[in-house]
Chain A
Amino acid sequence: MSDQEKKLNVSIKGNIRDLLAFKNLVSDRKKRIDNASNKPINFYPIIGLAQKLHPKKQYLLVSDIIDETKSTKTFRLIPDPNSDNRNLAYFRAGQYLSLKVQVNGVSITRPYSISSSPSESLEGFYEITIRKQEHGFLTNFIWSNWKIGTKIESSGPEGNFYYESLRDSEHLVGIAGGSGISPFRSIAKEIVNGNINAKLTLLYGSSNEEDIIFYNEFKNLENKYPDKVKAVFILSCEEITLEGCEKGLITAALIEKYASIDNSSFFICGPQEMYNFVEKEIQKFNLAPKRIRREVFGEVKNIINYPGFPQDLAEKSFKIKVHIGDLIKEIPGLATESILVAMERANLAPPSKCRSGECGFCRSFLFSGKIYLDPNKDLRRSADKQLNYIHPCSSYPISDLEIEVPRRL
């Protein structure tokens, strides 16, 4: 120590008392501990609310099935009375549930937007609205198997497709196709309940009148709350008999006709084909990214059409060595099918929620091998990209692979 430092002599309550205070630190501490309560804790206020809002699992039961159109049903879900699940998690209008379904002994998940309102979850139910896909292996299964009383395991509410007053304009333009109307039904209900302070203009595309979901409901809302909800039904068919419809597709001209381009927030939800079309139309407005929000739509179809996909490998199948928990198993995986799907087929029950690369719940480590993913939708963390962590739901094998996957919750 230098001379200058040696000179410092601090005294708080006097030299002796200070040193004594140091000497007594441990015995004083002991006294405090001895004098404390010896009771276990039985109160978890913060964790309690966190678990209520974000349960890891919800055990639900189908309580009602409503036919909306020839190909669309709404399933009403309530807490399974035979489970510990008493209440449903509250949510933000626009969020989804990841449902776990056992199909022929294989466990898979699917994200479904909640079509009922948050207030209705407090009354004890959620609704999800599903359109049957012509060759959809899951929707076919649901149609023939889900009955009143069917038990379904769900995640908590998930996703970022919701209105946020600090970010979004009070003029909300919803662009939807097919069952993509679900989150807008929830949002519309929340608007008329007074819980969201915005006006919704919904532009909803269908191929014909029979396919329109929630026509009457939106018409009623529009009549009752003309300053809060407006719905325009856009039909690509020739013949139109219903009121409030437009013929054609959701083009830029049509959007301009109903929405104020300069001060609206655009929320888009629908099947992949609709995005492909609407995205091009919306680009014409040259909007700032903050003005457009898109719901993720699950796995992409036709991955071979995406930029940079190695066409020569499109027909190939690869070996994927999967480490999951204490199990190591080699499974086959097609280049055109996500690693998640390959694992589900092999009944490894991997974790998944959004199935779109966004939520990162399936984050896994790639020991070796090459994957393809859509370069425009690589939503991984930067460090993960560098260290070879991948999201199997949006990654496709283009060589033999070895990966370590977390077990499901």
Chain B
Amino acid sequence: MSLQNFNEVVDVVVIGAGNGGLTAATQLALSGKKVILFEQHNLPGGFATSFVRGRFEFEASLHELCDYGPPTNKGGIRKLFEYDLGIDVEFIEISEAFRLIITNPNEKLDVIVPFGEDTFINFLEREVPGSEKSVRNYVKLGKEIISAIKYITESEGNPDKKKLVKEYKNFLKVTPYTLDQVNNALKIPKKAQDIINAYWCYIGIPTNRINFTFYAAMHYYFLIRKAYFPKYRSHGFTSALESKIRENGGKIQYNTKVEKILVENRKIVGVETSKGDKIQTNHVISNVSPTLVYNNLIYPKNEVPEIAYKFVNARRHAIGCFVVYLGLNASAEELGITNYSYHIYESTNTEEIYESFKTLNPPKAQASICLNNIIPDCSPNGTCMLTITAFFLNDAWKNVKANDYFNVKSRIAENLIDTFEKATGTSIRKYIEEIEIATPQTLSRYTGTYYGSAYGYETDPWDSFMPRLMAMADEKYIEGLEICGGFSANCQSYTNALLSGQIAAFLTIQDLDKKEESENK
């Protein structure tokens, strides 16, 4: 079908229609650049998608968006969608943060954690008397961190060092450290730390490795802006972005895998795809990880500098997710599923739980959501959807053979359902009308992510967003290449991935405009 092939010159090729690739392509199209987006799957979104089984439309991966915010206190993502990209998508506010359940009898805990700065501080003071002062400092630090990030962003990466030291000194001082190190220095009582730490499964490394700055910024956004969820699942905004790209003259091609990024003298000159497209371009924005770009895409291979391999090998691929999607034929109310979000941990020892991600034993952590508790009509009357997410480090699955795979999936799903039932005192097993189970293999199948990783590279203090951003210019090994998405300098999460695409687009537009200027001279 040679007539269907593309053979043309474009300003930018975007590889991958995940969150970052979509916002990148939308921004480029809106800025009048000629852009083509190639996606190997047949849908937009990457992880940010939904799927239909029987009477249910399941969200694939999103639990909640951080930094969206109400109309009166718009966050970065709401501004991105409403002002910059102009998509009109309905979002629902989530009013309570989560229910935290620790099942270990020695540490037994079952609390509903609220949003709001003061509400959160007062809640912790009630749960852990004497914690107020230290927790207030934790929240204050979160506030200083986001002001500092805002200042650095506005300075376009060239902040005045004196001003940083003067106004954001605490931000500078905590940024090299972990969540545990800083919270211990703040003298936050252990039990209060355990509650503060409950989002750790969203970062995917234990609290003695999570970068404090990264965590506290996310947590502070949650406190002041609450969490939000797109009414029609992630597919609601990813398909809206897809339409926006098309409306503005951008092209999207599905079922098309980029096979080669052609490079000459360390500069991008073109792209070739599995469908035989040959595109001339000097700019690629990759939603595909640097690991796969340098190992598989750059062509010829001798254009990959040694340092690029070191750059990717120094990093660690983060955890993958294991998700059980349940369509239940009774309402959440009937089943006694009263909350939207459940964080259920066997213990507060995050290191020990992280270690357990390396085995296929019954999972010790799960983050579960019941969408009907924020969007009552998201499934038919008298039904509800419960999604249970657990985590694995890729190596756990390396010995699983094809003919064991389905049994392993079912067994782990059963473990997770049992844990949920015991922890919440509910009974759901006999109400299962639809069940789908996704593993790290499933994530790889649909997105191509290496090692089934859902969270990009792990964000230890040395590889969190500040060192990534500060080293970004030095870590550009191929001219014309920008990375967006969960593996980018912005780090993982929906929020960061969505924002990273726009940043990559702006950097590319800057280059294109500079080139145009110098050509005009």
A interface residues with partner B (beta carbon < 8 Å): 1, 5, 8-12, 15, 18-19, 21-22, 24-26, 28-30, 32-41, 44-47, 49-54, 89-90, 92, 118-119, 122, 160, 164-167, 288-290, 324-327, 349, 351, 358, 360-361, 363, 365, 379-384, 386-387, 389, 404, 406-409
Contact = CB atoms under 8 A, between A and B. Distances in A.
Interface in B455-512: 461-463, 466-467, 470-471, 474
B319 to A, nearest CB: 12
Contact of B451 (A46, A118, A167, A325): A46
B162 interface: no
Interface of B: 1, 3-8, 42-43, 50-55, 57, 137, 140-141, 143-144, 165, 167, 169-170, 172-177, 181-182, 185-186, 232-233, 235-236, 239-240, 243, 246, 253-256, 275, 277, 291, 294-295, 301, 304, 306-307, 309-314, 320, 329, 394-395, 397-398, 400, 402-403, 405-406, 410, 413-414, 417, 429, 431-435, 440-442, 444-445, 448, 450-452, 461-463, 466-467, 470-471, 474
B57 A29 contact: no
Contacts of B50: 381, 383
A11 B402 contact: no
Contacts of A30: 471, 474
Contacts of A386: 232
B218 to A, nearest CB: 18
B320 A5 contact: no
A26 B52 contact: no
A409 B256 CA distance: 7
A325 to B, nearest CB: 3
5 contacts: A10-B173, A25-B466, A46-B450, A326-B3, A381-B239
Nearest to B301: A40
A18 B176 contact: yes
A361 B405 CA distance: 24
B129 to A, nearest CB: 22
Contacts of A15: 173
B464 to A, nearest CB: 9
Contacts of B55: 289
Nearest to A325: B4
A34 B310 contact: yes
A11 B467 CA distance: 20
A53 B445 contact: yes
B255 A409 contact: yes
A307 B459 CA distance: 55
Given A40-B304, A90-B405, 14 more contacts: A8-B170, A9-B170, A22-B176, A33-B311, A37-B309, A90-B402, A166-B413, A166-B414, A166-B432, A326-B4, A363-B43, A384-B235, A387-B239, A409-B255
B399 to A, nearest CB: 9
Given A32-B314, A39-B309, A406-B42, A382 B53 contact: no
Nearest to B468: A29
B441 A326 contact: no
B161 to A, nearest CB: 10
A407 B185 contact: no
B256 A407 contact: yes
B253 A10 contact: no
A86 B42 CA distance: 26
